[in-house]
Structure 1
Amino acid sequence: MTSQGSKEKDIVYEILEERISFLESLKSFHNNVIELIKKHTSGKSYTPAQLLQDIVAIIQSKFNLYVVNVLTINNVDRTLVLTARASKDPQLNASPGRFQIKIGEGITGSSAASGETIVANDVSKDPRYVRAPSVATKSELAVPVKLQSTIIGVLDVQNDLVNSFRRDFVQAMEDVAFNIGFILENKQLYDTLKTQSDQLEKEVDQKMREIQESESRYRNLLENASDSILTIERNGKITWANKAACLFLGLKAEELADANITSFVKKGSLHTIYLGLKEIMDGANTKRLEVSIVNAHNETRNVEISCSAIREKDDVVCVECIMRDITEKVIVENLKKNYTKTLEEAVDERTNLIKDTQRAAILAIANLAESIDTDTAGHLERIRGYSKSLAEELRAHPKYKNIITDEYIELLFDLSPLHDLGKVGIRDRILLKPDKLTKDEFTEMQEHTEIGARALKVAGEMIRRESVFSIGEMIARYHHEKWDGSGYPAVKIGDEVRPLRGEEIPLCARVVALADVYDALCSKRPYKEPFPHEVAKKIILDGAGKHFDPDVVQAFLKREQEFLKIKKQFADEKMAVTNPFVSKKAG
């Protein structure tokens, strides 16, 4: 009995000694942390990252722990990022920032999410634990690090033994976490304020030097400036003038006391100078005026005055005026205006003459082509009138507003009469045949589109105006194409040869196609009498989506009355005979 009691007593003593030793270790650790904090916060080279690293190293070595981490929250993606680590396993001493975990994930992430200390003395029994490869962790303690009430990170302590964390150890780690948060908060605030204070002091010193230097330069600049500079009160009284202003106005320095700007301004400019000064005194920042000045030598000069407010606090006390002599500039500008106006008129006149000559030449060529068959001069005038009318109407459509410009309409008006230019290359017996053409004859007749297009292309190349004649070329080549693809000529498109269809047909050709058919329907031919407008209109409407572009047909309907006016204005019986041939040898 005595032996058993002695053993129990020895066990109690052993537990007490172990407990006392642990408490002494905690006390020693606490003192070490306090000294470390003092050392870092008193040093100019202190950085939070270094302090954190030193703290985790003390914790790990003092209690022979497996690994101690400090993780801080990345507010961008809301993850915990490894900031400091100390471990007795060299492989775990990775560089901060290489490891991160989502908030709410694992024991560490759960502590950050809840803001509560989590003690897992056997991680195998805690479902929140996330096991990492090659890690010997068996117990884990996670303590949130806070700035006031905001969680900024987690102190994470792990050991390779179960039941490693007693209540007093947990309390010690919570104190460390609190100190970490407090130190970071105060150091961050101090560093921010110190940086801002130093920067502000530097900026103030720099600004003061700049202001002093600027004032000195400005005084010298004003006094010796080549421009006339003066200051004026609301009533026009001159309070100061530099050397150039005194010279310009014919004043001596001692005469400034009684001088008023209104005594130098011509009567026609008094209202301008008065309103300008009033606007500046009432709050406007700057004002530019042009007035006529008569100086003390009775010389009249045109001047430009730049007025700006001079303020004391928020009140405008006077106006600074910079006067520049622009007399010669005004004279030159007046001469230039007169010259430019004369030149523009001459250019317009010459341009119109050239355009008229070009139009006359185009009409002459078109008449030459048309005179081979039964078409009349009225036909050409009507074609270009119809085409222009349709284009003007289409321009109002959002679909075409960026395509149909004034130049486009002008070129369409000028070049549409050349749509059948290629007929000069077709034999007379085919052109003038009153009966229906045979298949071979019709095939030859179709060649007039290509003949005309080639001729216009060559013409454009000869005068280096391909872009201008390109519209005429497209009209000549494609005005017999049909919206449904049943027209001619056939061209190579990809791997097939076929007529164009739909919007593959150039817009200018689609416009002229309707204008040409309408005029043909309403004109007399050897094989038919002219159709009434209503009959021609019905044929055009029936051809929408088949022969004609539906948009062009709609434009025709909207311009129907204008078509009738053009048809009446250029009726065949009103037009002079323009056939230059008396006879022609048949092919």
Structure 2
Amino acid sequence: MSQVQQLSSPYIFEETRLLFYQRTLICLWLAVVFFPLFSILDYAYCNEYFSRFLLYRLIYVIILLAFINLLKQQTFKKLAPYLMYLAMVLGSLVISKMAVELGGFSSGYYVGILLMIAGALFVLPLSAATALFYGLSMYGVYLATVLTTLGLPEQNQIHFAVSNSFFFLSLVGIVATQSYDDLHTLHNQLRAKENIRKIHYKLSAYTDGLEETIQQRLIELQETDLKYQDLYNNIMDMVVLVDDEGIIHQFNNNCRTLLGIAEKELEGKNIRQLLRHEREKTDWLTHIILQLRGNLPLRSIQLNLVNILGEPLEVELSASRIEINHAPYFQLILRDISIQKSIERKLLDAERLIGTSRQAAIFGLARLAECRDDETGQHLSRIRSYTRILTEELASSHEYGPLIDDRFIDEIGYSAVLHDIGKVGIPDSILMKPGKLTEVEFELMKQHTIFGANVLAAADHGKENSSFLQLGRDIARSHHERWDSRGYPDGLPGDEIPLAARIISLADVYDALTSNRVYKPPFSHEESRAIIVRESGRQFDPHVVNAFLRRENDFKETRMRLLLQQPEPARNGS
């Protein structure tokens, strides 16, 4: 944290420290929820160790609750970085202890430490160096625990040790890079907020009560042009007096200064000539005059002007109708907001960057689950692309158009890649089995739908507004349901299956059919199409199948484009 203090203003440092404290509490609470929850994995994968592992988990949860209680006290808030680091190291130690009891390097339980790294370090506002230190410390705990307990790995354990180390170090590198980007984006956003606050104070100092004074003076002095001059020449905004046709009759000094136009050139000029966009030249003055003739004052209309050099000038317009010598005129007050709009655009860019970072984090978590069964990002990219094609087509259909809006289309894109997140709870012996699964193994494989739904439901718990995780929970649980109610885990029929799950179901099956598997070569598009059509009304929603048929050329083009980018290794399907 000292590095942040040296490179940032006091405001940015304090805001970053407060954000770290708040997110530390969130991470600790999530650990309190998830750590016992993964006892389900203990029960399914290593039932004989269930009681002992549950004791380890509960002891760790009690320690976390003690940390949370400490942080709630004002005196201990500054200890958030140290307690967070200690919590992560202790969590790594507990998971490493379980891995040792399950075989050391050959145990897949080390993935729990990877989830801690991905879940916490993607959220905390850390510098790249700090993220590396956290991640490498956790890796060091794992390595030291296994080596000191079991000694150097035997010949059959070496490739597990190398593979685990590769995943550890790769994820730590990704987290460090993402932390650098996130912290840089956060500081830019805070600097923009600080600048807006300073500008707001300056504008308030300049214009406090000024607009009300102007209106009062205009009422008192509307019978004579001469009485306006002092007011015009001392106001910080541009003040322009125009007639019904938009011809300029009077203006203040600041108007000439900002526009860079000489007095003799400005007087008698039509104000439409100063507007930047053709649409505004024809529409805006007519609209203003119609309202002002009815004595309706206008406020906060934004326009784009140009100065003498052709440079853009963004302004905010307030206007009112006045009479001079019984003739109607229109008083326009134009406030220069170019700096404010520039800052707003920078803030929007920062928000878009944050959104991009969030998508990268989601995709990274999904790939973390997929990497256990040799899946690659190409599968996730195809699923997301197929899903968007289907959803956009259904949005224009009579049946589902009213149910699908832009938010649904965006969120199903985020959620689609999480459909198999529950596979982190399936043993490697099943997930990586090259041959056909037995009935018992297949029943356990089915549990990945429930594991995934539970994990996403816990992550979304307590939020006031629904998020893409709620959609992800429906997809994770129900993407293996069938239209004829013969699917799993709930045997839902027809429309009772969430719409998002019905869409993902077809996209996932199409990708499985057209991809290489250990038990089959890839089917052609035509063969896959025939299978999907045959299963319409049985496995798939007929409306979703019809949408697929209308856009099948897009499926073919997307599949070929992504396959050319990177070949995908075979994997065991579920």
Q: Which TM-score band (shorter chain)?
A: 0.3 to 0.5
Whose helix fraction is larger, Structure 1's or Structure 2's?
Answer: 2
TM-score, normalised relative to structure 2: 0.46
TM-score, normalised relative to structure 1: 0.45
Larger radius of gyration: 1
Whose strand fraction is larger, Structure 1's or Structure 2's?
Answer: 1
Q: Which has the higher contact order (CA 8 A, sep 6+)?
A: 2
